[in-house]
Structures are given as C-alpha cells and as structure tokens.
C-alpha cells in the first residue's frame, strides 16, 4: 500500500495542474492531475506535500489545507491512500516540471480536462466546499466502478 499526496494550488480563479506527458511508464500518462507524489520514509503527508510541490513546480507552499483522504482500490495497481490538499498561498518562481507540462487552468474548467473518472468526483466535492471527507474509489482497469463517500454512500 502506498501513501501519496495531491494538491490543487489555487490563485485568481485558476488552479495549477500538471499534464502528465514526460515520465516513462506513467500510470497517469496523458492525464491532467494536481501536484503531488509518493510519501518517503519518515515523511508526514504535509512533509511530502511541501517537498513534492517544490520539486515539481519550484514553489514553496505557505498556506494549505488537508481536504480529504482518498482510498484507491484497483485490480491493476496496489491500494493507495492519497491525502488531498488545496493551497491558497505560495512563494517562489514557477519552474518547469520533468513529469509534464504545468498550466494554470480556470477552476471551473479543470473537470473538463482528461482525468481519471474518480478525479471528477473529488473535484466536485472540493467545488462544493465539502468539509474534510473520506472517499473510496474502486477501479477495474481505468473504469471507476464505485465511489463511496464517508464509508456510507456510493455516489456514482
């Protein structure tokens, strides 16, 4: 089981997104995602978040919030716990990313980009200003077959 982070950095009605186009053997190839990655040994989710954002964007987060815990279950990949964050402030200058192209996307347009089906579910919860939530997304291949919110309700 792996622990990861994902962050949607928001500023002026836009969100920083990563179009995964450069990494070899990338399970996210061709998709648009937030910024994040795998937790390293002895890192908290917050430690991982700050490190990954700095590595992938050159930015240092100064204001962020944990919004949810997403559990990914798949018949292809190992189970993953993803700590979902939003960020509203940062310092530094944006750099190029070696995993893909970074772009500031209008927040209301991000769900129209090619993403995983489950991303639309948690992006919708973020847009609704949902308080902290737990979401279990179950996939068969790349097909989302279940989305259980807070352990109770299948919302797909």
Residue 147 is part of which domain span? 7-154
Residue % of the chain over a pLDDT of 90: 75
Q: At 91, which CATH number?
A: 3.90.79.10
What percent of the chain clears pLDDT 70, i.e. is strictly above it?
97
- Distance from C-alpha of 21 to C-alpha of 131, rounded to nearest angstrom: 32
| Residue 32 maps to a domain | yes
In a domain, 2, yes or no: no
- For residue 1, being part of any structural domain is answered with no
In 25-132, at which residue ranges do the beta strands (DSSP E only) sit? 32-33, 35-38, 60-74, 80-91, 100-106
Query: 105: helix, coil or strand?
Result: strand
> pLDDT digit string (tens) for 110-141?
878 988 889 999 999 998 988 899 999 999 99
106 has pLDDT over 80: yes
Q: What is the mean pLDDT of residues 28-38?
A: 86
Is there a domain that residue 65 lies in? Answer: yes
Q: How many domains does the chain have?
A: 1
Is residue 60 a part of any domain in this protein? yes
């Amino acid at each position: 089981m792996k622990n990861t982070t994902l962050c949607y950095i928001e500023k002026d009605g836009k969100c920083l997104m990563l179009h995964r186009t450069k990494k070899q053997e990338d399970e996210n190839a061709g998709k648009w995602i937030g910024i994040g990655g795998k937790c390293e040994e002895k890192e908290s989710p917050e430690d991982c978040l700050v490190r990954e954002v700095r590595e992938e964007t050159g930015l240092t987060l100064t204001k962020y919030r944990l919004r949810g815990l997403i559990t990914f279950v798949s018949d292809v990949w190992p189970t993953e716990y993803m700590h979902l964050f939003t960020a509203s402030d940062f310092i530094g200058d944006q750099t190029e990313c070696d995993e893909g192209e970074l772009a500031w996307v209008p927040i209301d347009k991000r769900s129209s980009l090619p993403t995983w089906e489950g991303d639309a579910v948690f992006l919708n919860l973020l847009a609704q200003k949902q308080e902290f939530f737990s979401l279990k997304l179950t996939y068969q291949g790349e097909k989302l077959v279940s989305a259980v919110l807070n352990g109770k309700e299948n919302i797909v």
